[in-house]
Structure 1
Amino acid sequence: MRHSSLNAFLSAQRQALNKGPVAMIFVEDQIEIETTIHHHLESGFKQVLVFMPVAFDLPEDLVEKIHRIDHDLSQVHNVPEIINQVIEAAPDVWMYYCFNAEYLLFPFCETRGIGEMLSFHTEERRDAMLCYVVDLYAGDLDRFPNAVSLENAYLDKSGYYALARPDPANHNHPRERQLDIHGGLRWRFEEHIPPARRKIDRVALFKSKPGLTLREDHTFSDEEYNTYASPWHHNLTAAIVSFRVAKALKRNPGSSFEIGTLKWHNSVSFKWDSRQLMDLGLIEPGQWF
């Protein structure tokens, strides 16, 4: 279904949000829009909200499976504001957000759906799940000048690290069970990335509730939502494999002409398999087997 704005969608189809999990996909350009939507539909999201410019095309049969909401991020890049409006409209629902050319992978996602994983996570008394945004990039920039190729995708097998997250309200002592994660293209090409955008942690899966708000740095107003695990044991984590940074590095004039390749000695071909991400230590199955 197509809607002229988020307000129009909420006025006509608010009840569609009552049954989750709900995925929100924010379209920034015309790269891999359909594959992003198909991937998240196949993952088991009950409702998929796609925010995209009016001028972008989508097949009608795909529009029938989603809620297409007209919104141009190049004019107003207000993703947290939109998400907070959806949270307010539908409390107590599992939600997720990403951008086009980003794909959610979680432990055993080849045989299990997102609903199964979130049911287990809920039983562990968790209302949010930490995700790591793992950069993907085309191995051959001559063949793929926009740095995007699903069939020729690579990722970094090492170079990831965590820093304690200081708490300004507590003399900058480290926050409990919170870390700032770095690595991938944002680390290797950090001179082209603003400091505020170098982290790769994103609380992309969360349960909405009254008063909850998403902040600009991809963290939530409830600090427990920003933790990577509960106090008593390790919890599930997931990954969003993403071409977003690779696209930006090749699109921006300041970096495009300085980068001949995004590969390095620690690049490996991406198998589109959750086992590979678990073997590399990029996602954690926790107690879920």
Structure 2
Amino acid sequence: MQYKHLTEFLTSNAMALQQGPIAMIFVEDEIEIASTLRHHKEIGFAKVLAFIPDVFDLPPDLKDVVHRIDFDASLESDVQAAVNQVAAAAPGVWMFFCFNAEYLFFPFCEARSVNEMLSFHEEERREAMLTYVIDLYADDLSTCPNAVSLRHAHLDRSGYYALARNHCANVAQPKERQLDFFGGLRWRFEEHVPTSRRKINRISLFRAKPGVTLREDHSFSEEEYNTYACPWHHNITAAVCSFRAAKALKRNPGSRHDIKTFRWHNSEKFEWNSQQLLDLGLIEPGQWF
């Protein structure tokens, strides 16, 4: 199931988008492509779309279960356009997007599927879910120069904070139930990160709706999609555990030689389970028990 471009996929296999939830994985480099695709297939996504450069290959076990679309994800504007194009083709369907070497975790994901979680979330009259991008990094950069290691992945157990999100027209008036979240590598190495890239909140899970589009900052044109909870109580939140920032900091010439290690006194080994994220307060179950 390989397509030369997104238009070919949408015109020749539109039925593939009728059943959700759908995961869109945008591949930027050759790192951990297979593990990313397998993870999202295993947690219950009905369809996995791999937007991947044609120079990269997929293992045989994935070729029959993943819809491969030739795509260059080097420009975020192209990623944004692709997400909006898929969403426009499947109104009412739950969708998720991330990049390679990023892994979605939600409360109780070891025993419950993403479809179960989204069904409950929808019953609470929610059409989008806040996800925190939690930076992962290898503990030893001398043995893992690209900062990626599944076996020796670490994360920050503290150092996260939130600021009010203000209206552009009225900076004194914060937006209701919206916050900007910070922390992880983007906070600790902020001198190497553009201001617009320092936030760790992303609306990764959303229900496609006519006229509602993804914006450049990974928020949506409908403000209710960008809220962290409904007006009545807390809702489920999830995490995208991501090596993306670590890869970029070790790849970029401006930061590559300045960073000898990502470890600090608040580093903790990532256990690859949702309970650890719940214990650290990085995700919450809301009313879902």
User: Normalising to structure 2: TM-score of the pair?
Assistant: 0.98
Partner Cα separation in structure 2 for residue 194 and residue 29 of structure 1: 21
**Which amino acid letter does the alignment assign opposite residue 114 of structure 2?**
I
Equivalents in 2 of 1:235, 1:72: separation in Å? 35
- The residue type equivalent to 1:16 in the other structure is A
Once the two structures are TM-superposed, the CA of residue 78 in structure 1 deviates from its matched residue by 1.1
Query: What is the percent sequence identity of the aligned residues?
Result: 65
Following TM superposition, the consecutive aligned residue runs of length 4 or more in structure 1 with deviations greater than 6 angstroms are none
Match for residue 118 of structure 1? Answer: 118
Deviation track 1:127-181 (CA, whole Å, cap 9, x = no partner) reads 0000000000000001100000000000000000000001113444100000000
Q: What is residue 60 of structure 1 aligned with on the other side?
A: 60
Is 1:6 aligned to 2:6, yes or no? yes
Correspondence 1:231 to 2:223 = no
The CA distance in 2 between the partners of 1:184 and 1:124, in whole Å, is 30
Counterpart Cα distance in 1 of 2:282 and 2:103: 14
Q: Please name the residue that 1:97 is paired with.
A: 97
Match in the other structure for 1:49? 49
Deviations 1:48-98 (A, max 9, x none): 001010110112331110100001123685111111111111100000000
Instruction: Give 1:132's aligned residue.
Output: 132
Residue 268 of structure 2 aligns with which residue? 268
Match of 1:201? 201
Amino acid at match of 2:147: A
Contact 2:77 2:216 in 1 (8 A): no
Deviations 1:90-117 (A, max 9, x none): 1000000000000000000010000000
Count of aligned positions:
289
1:253 shift after superposition: 1.2
Letter of the aligned partner of 2:46 in structure 1? K
Q: Is 59-68 or 168-177 further displaced after alignment?
A: 168-177
RMSD of the TM alignment (CA)? 1.0
The separation in 2 between residues aligned to 1:66 and 1:270, in whole angstroms, is: 27
The 1:186/1:171 distance shift into structure 2, 3 A limit, reads: closer
Question: Could you tell me how far apart the structure 2 residues matched to 1:176 and 1:226 are?
Answer: 10
The 3-state SS of whatever aligns with 2:260 is coil
- Asked if structure 1 preserves the Cα contact closer than 8 Å seen for 2:127 and 2:225, the reply is yes
SS at match of 1:168: coil
Aligned to 2:284: 284
Q: Distance in 2 between matches of 1:59 and 1:5?
A: 20
Cα distance, 1:6 vs. partner?
A: 0.3
The C-alpha deviation readout for 1:195-236, integer Å capped at 9, x for no partner, is: 000000000000001001000000000000000000000000
CA distance in 2, matches of 1:216, 1:225: 15
Distance 1:172 1:87, change over 3 A: farther
Which consecutive unaligned segments of at least 5 residues does structure 1 have?
none
Gaps of 5+ in 2: none
SS in 2 for 1:38: helix
